[in-house]
Amino acid sequence: METDISVEALTMTTENRWSLREIQKAQLSAEHEVTGLTPAEMLFGRTLRFPCDILFGLPSEMPSLPNEYMKNLEARLESVHAFARERIKLSRERMKTRYDYYFYETILRREI
């Protein structure tokens, strides 16, 4: 799996000086090629906050009541997941078209 390879590469280059928390945070904040979203956005409905965000003062959301927060979170997650599903569907169709083109191109060349 790609993630396993990246973890192995990191441990090989930095010997024993790596932190599982840093790796986990890096993986959760890495944008997916197809969806354009991070795993954190898909799971938590927001991007992760880093220490530099605190230092440079990213605008924070106003605190809300628990019921209001849950409704907002649910709506945010539904829209994020719908967006991701659409992007995945488009990517799947592009991959199928590309595969079919090269597959049939190869078969037609053999028959000629």
**Digit-coded pLDDT (tens) for 87-110:** 999 999 999 999 999 888 887 777
Domains: count for the chain: 1
Domain range enclosing 31: 5-109
Predicted confidence at residue 80, as pLDDT, reads 94
Predicted confidence at residue 109, as pLDDT, reads 74
Mean pLDDT of the chain: 82
Closest CA to 81 of 45, 33, 31: 45
pLDDT of residue 22 exceeding 70, the answer is yes
99 Ramachandran zone, left/alpha/beta (phi>0; psi -120 to 50): alpha
Predicted confidence at residue 4, as pLDDT, reads 57
User: Could you give the percent of the chain with pLDDT greater than 70?
Assistant: 78
pTM of the complete model: 0.64
